[in-house]
Chains A and B, each alone.
Chain A
Amino acid sequence: MSATRAEVCAVACAEMFRGDGEIVAAAVAGMTPALGARLARSTFEPDLLTTDGGPFLTAEPVPLGAPAGIVEGWLPFRDHLWLVLNGRRHVVLGPSQIDAYGNCNISNIGDWARPKSQLLGSRGAPGNTRCNTTSFWIPKHSTRVFTERVDFVSGIGYDRGAFELRGVVTNLAVLDFATPDRRMRLRSVHPGITVADVVAATGFELSIEDVQETRLPTDEELRIMREVLDVRGFREREVPS
């Protein structure tokens, strides 16, 4: 079976959770990371705890947009905020800007005192990046998002004391911070994408050596996405082919 770009992205998001074990996957950044977390739990990371997108920890990984079904736990907002400090949590953030060290912005564009565009506010990004594992999902890789400097440091990068920034999945590539100085590195490009495409869409210098092709979904992963977890095809709306 051949995979769509969205399916490659979802599997790349799932891979972010590899090795996490019995912790909460908080994939708040969109449909693709939510699908990735539930796919990881359905395959190689069965101990992962996943939610219905609300306060319920579900007994099984539930399809996107489906009700919780059998509930195995309760995680209201106050317990999410506790869990951030406790650390047994891996969040996927969807920033509007990110720099080479992983500092990210969900707060505002322009000068904070009187922004050109006010966004959400810092929300949980400062504590998340300081206290629990964080990955990033960026559905439109561009120089607007990958910037030399972010206008506001909502989530902190490795140069400001981040706990663990596992990686960045975009519609073009997978990136991480596995370099001596912890600047962002291009780890793999998705099928059909070149290194030059990623460089052109990135507003700072990337570490580039030994770039692989992003792993393709297995037939079993494709079956689970198409027939179980995302029958309605939310993933294709977030990452059009």
Chain B
Amino acid sequence: MSGKVVSIEEVVGSLSSGMTIGIGGWGSRRKPMALVRAILRSDLTDLTIISYGGADVGLLCAYGKIRKLIAPFVTLDSIALEPHFRRARQNGTIEFAEYDEGMFMFGLYAAAHRLPFLPTYAGLGSDVMRVNPSLRTVKSPYGDEELLAVPALTMDVALVHMNRADARGNALYLGADPYFDDLYAKAADRTYVSCEKLVDTADLLKEGPVQSLLISRAQVTGVIETPNGSHFTTGDTDRRDEAFQKHYVAAAADPDQWAAFRARFLEGDEAAYQDAVRRWQEDGK
């Protein structure tokens, strides 16, 4: 069995501008932030992002990486609105395919099952139909119901962050919610799993029950160990760094403060980020 362990830089180096990238997690929860931060440092641009959006979308907006966003919302959960996403929308700098969140899940299911679409009621009658004029409805062949045909959310690459993984690419979550990371992995041509900790295959089930093995190596191209890599969204403790998230939102409100935030946290590599966060936390004590 050849190992699939790669570096953050190798993952981002394998991506190209204009790609469609799905990002796992939900809002400000278990987002593959180490990989997102590496995209910020790269030359990548013109990306189509598929996400139950949170800080991932916010940061990619702040760095002008997104051409088009497909999402039902962008939120930081404990802070309802994402400042960089709001600014990008209000300045008209990104294209936005606004979906209902259940409709979005059916798009992931369709892609994961290699179906062209799945039918649902969610979205019908709403302005989601108005602002996505390419959406089509379909009549049930068994009755009179008219349903929304949600197109498959296919993607070139999926990025997800899991709690544990082995070098083969099997991955496990330890929190109370799997989110939709397995569907992203199945929907994408290539999936990269970052994880809090790499473990031996023999130790996977020492970490959690077999049901928590959410992602199979058959769907995984590469594995990256990034301790605290989902910071400041939820990670191994299922808690987010609320203080840091507040700091992020406050900095986003002012151009000078945002420049200082970028310089302090985002210009170096992942190890530099984690060091800078540790120093920031120590300063606050």
A40 to B131, CA, bound (A): 39
A118 on the B face (CB < 8 A) = yes
Give the tally of cross-chain contacts (CB within 8 A). 124
User: What residues on A are CB-neighbors of B105 within 8 Å?
Assistant: 78, 81
Question: A55-B176, A56-B176, A85-B120 known; A115 and B90 CB under 8 Å?
Answer: yes
Interface size range on A against B: 35 or more
Question: A118-B85, A122-B100, A126-B122 known; A54 and B176 CB under 8 Å?
Answer: yes
Contact A160 B125 (CB under 8 A): yes
B98 on the A face (CB < 8 A) = yes
Contact B90 A116 (CB under 8 A): yes
User: What residues on A are CB-neighbors of B124 within 8 Å?
Assistant: 126, 130, 156, 161
A115 to B89, CA, bound (A): 7
Would you give the 0/1 interface string for A130-158, flagging 1 where the beta carbon is closer than 8 Å to chain B?
11000000000000000000001111100
A233 on the B face (CB < 8 A) = no
Closest-CB distance, B203 to chain A (whole angstroms): 25
Would you give the 0/1 interface string for A67-83, flagging 1 where the beta carbon is closer than 8 Å to chain B?
00000001011100100
Q: Which of A77, A117, A126 contacts B86 (CB 8 A)?
A: A117
User: What residues on B are CB-neighbors of A130 within 8 Å?
Assistant: 121-126
A135 to B180, CA, bound (A): 27
Contact B89 A127 (CB under 8 A): no
Closest-CB distance, B164 to chain A (whole angstroms): 18
B275 on the A face (CB < 8 A) = no
Question: A77-B177, A85-B121, A119-B81 known; A127 and B127 CB under 8 Å?
Answer: no
A163: nearest chain-B partner, CB-CB = B121
Contact B92 A155 (CB under 8 A): no
Closest-CB distance, A47 to chain B (whole angstroms): 24
Q: Which of A85, A108, A125 contacts B126 (CB 8 A)?
A: A125
A123 on the B face (CB < 8 A) = yes
Question: A107-B127, A115-B89, A116-B90 known; A122 and B121 CB under 8 Å?
Answer: no
A49 on the B face (CB < 8 A) = no
A122 to B121, CA, bound (A): 15
Closest-CB distance, B143 to chain A (whole angstroms): 16
For A85, A126, A155, the residue with the greatest tally of chain B CB atoms inside 10 Å of its CB is A126
In A88-126, which residues have CB < 8 Å from any B CB?
107-108, 112-126
Would you give the 0/1 interface string for B127-157, flagging 1 where the beta carbon is closer than 8 Å to chain A?
1101100000000000000000000000000
A54: nearest chain-B partner, CB-CB = B176
Q: Which of A107, A114, A124, A153 contacts B90 (CB 8 A)?
A: A114
In B79-112, which residues have CB < 8 Å from any A CB?
80-81, 85-86, 89-92, 98-103, 105
B248 on the A face (CB < 8 A) = no
A12 on the B face (CB < 8 A) = no
Question: A78-B105, A78-B180 known; A118 and B86 CB under 8 Å?
Answer: yes
Contact A127 B98 (CB under 8 A): no
A84 on the B face (CB < 8 A) = yes
Closest-CB distance, B277 to chain A (whole angstroms): 25
Closest-CB distance, B184 to chain A (whole angstroms): 12
Contact B89 A126 (CB under 8 A): no
A154: nearest chain-B partner, CB-CB = B126
In A174-194, which residues have CB < 8 Å from any B CB?
none
Contact B121 A121 (CB under 8 A): no
User: What residues on B are CB-neighbors of A56 within 8 Å?
Assistant: 176
Contact B92 A124 (CB under 8 A): no
A107 to B81, CA, bound (A): 11
User: What residues on A are CB-neighbors of B122 within 8 Å?
Assistant: 84-85, 124, 126-127, 130-131
Contact B102 A76 (CB under 8 A): no
User: What residues on B are CB-neighbors of A156 within 8 Å?
Assistant: 124-126
Question: A117-B86, A126-B123 known; A76 and B178 CB under 8 Å?
Answer: yes
B73 on the A face (CB < 8 A) = yes
Q: Across chains A and B, which 10 residue pairs bring their CB atoms closest together, nearest first? A: A127-B122, A121-B73, A126-B126, A118-B89, A160-B125, A126-B100, A76-B177, A156-B125, A127-B102, A81-B102
Q: A77-B180, A121-B74 are in contact. List 16 more A-B contacts (CB 8 A).
A: A76-B178, A76-B179, A77-B179, A85-B120, A85-B122, A114-B91, A114-B92, A117-B90, A120-B73, A120-B74, A120-B75, A123-B72, A123-B101, A126-B100, A127-B100, A153-B130
Please name 24 pairs of A and B residues whose Cβ atoms are closer than 8 Å in the assembled complex, sorted by A: A76-B177, A76-B178, A77-B26, A77-B180, A84-B102, A85-B102, A85-B120, A112-B98, A114-B92, A117-B86, A121-B72, A121-B74, A123-B100, A123-B101, A126-B123, A126-B126, A127-B103, A129-B126, A130-B121, A130-B124, A131-B122, A153-B126, A154-B126, A156-B126
